[in-house]
Amino acid sequence: MINSFDLKNLSLLEEIHFGQDFDCDFIYEDGGLDWGNVPATHNTYNYPNQVGDSISSSKINNRDITITAYSFYILSEDEKIEVGRENWYKYCYEKIKEKNEILNRVINPLNYVRLTIGDYYIEGKPSATPKYGTTVSDNNLYFCKFMISIFCANPMFKKITQTTSLLSGDLGAFFFPLFIPSYGKIMGVRNNYLMLEVDNEGNAEIGGIITITAKGEVVNPVIENFNTGEQFRIYYTMQQGDIITINTSDGGEKGIWGTINGITSSFIKYMSFSASTWLKFKAGRTILVYSTDNQSEEELDIKVELNPQKYGLEDM
């Protein structure tokens, strides 16, 4: 069961905290948190005399989240003395209105919001402004009940921290304070791999960010998914310091860019459309291999960053 979560307006960068104790900004009631589910649409076909249907494709649809909670305020002992007993209720009511004002700013249907639960988050837009209670039992001097709904076009929970795999690179081998023994000291280690496992900790297939950095002349680098044989091939001769970044995630993030002499621009023209696939990473481990046309693999640093996604969290 999820006991608390944070909700942040990504435009205003204003954040509120939901929980089930009085230390939070808003309390959500038992059963007042519905994360929804992830419905799928399956397209089918059949032929004469076929028993049942065959599935031609599947589409994961969006998710709706609803939260029913309470706005409240509890006076501290100092406030009780300062305000005076006769003004307690009025004071609390003014504080509740201040909380609702913050809630109205954060829950804006024009702004994206992010719900953070432990190590994961999900983003969407409010379907409407907060709906407040209309009866005295739900909206009074002591508390105000409200409901908010959030439409998540992407229904996946994403991990806050990205998983990074270094396919080749230099590892530092000294630290300060530095002590050099009589037999010497290794200052750095160069690791080169033609093959490495990349771990997707989520339960859904995702894209990733592949960063290629040249340490010398590199001709036409190729990244290949050893599991599937799919490749991403670039026809370009890289020089020392050149960086090529490939984002294979779906949506507006997808693309390929090159940073040459500190200037970043689109590198889509150097991508081999006939021989390239926007590489994806299935749940679990994927083996990647890389090569070049001039056998310059040792001149490459290759980094893969994944943002694992889940259909649902274990605490739900």
Predicted structure pTM score: 0.78
Which pLDDT tens digits describe the chain residue by residue (316 residues)?
A: 788 999 999 999 999 999 988 889 999 878 888 999 998 999 999 999 899 999 999 998 999 999 999 999 988 888 888 888 888 888 888 999 999 999 999 999 999 999 999 999 999 999 999 999 999 999 988 899 999 999 999 999 999 988 888 766 554 555 555 556 655 555 544 444 567 789 999 989 999 999 999 999 999 999 999 989 999 999 999 999 999 999 999 877 899 999 999 999 999 999 999 889 999 999 999 999 888 899 887 888 889 999 999 998 877 6
Q: Which residues pair with 42 in a beta bridge?
A: 58
DSSP 8-state class, residue 206: B
What is the rounded distance in angstroms from the CA atom of residue 215 to the CA atom of residue 99?
55
Which CA distances in Å does 196 have to 166, 284, 304? 9, 13, 10
Q: How far is CA 54 from the centre of its chain?
A: 34
Q: Which residues pair with 188 in a beta bridge?
A: 172
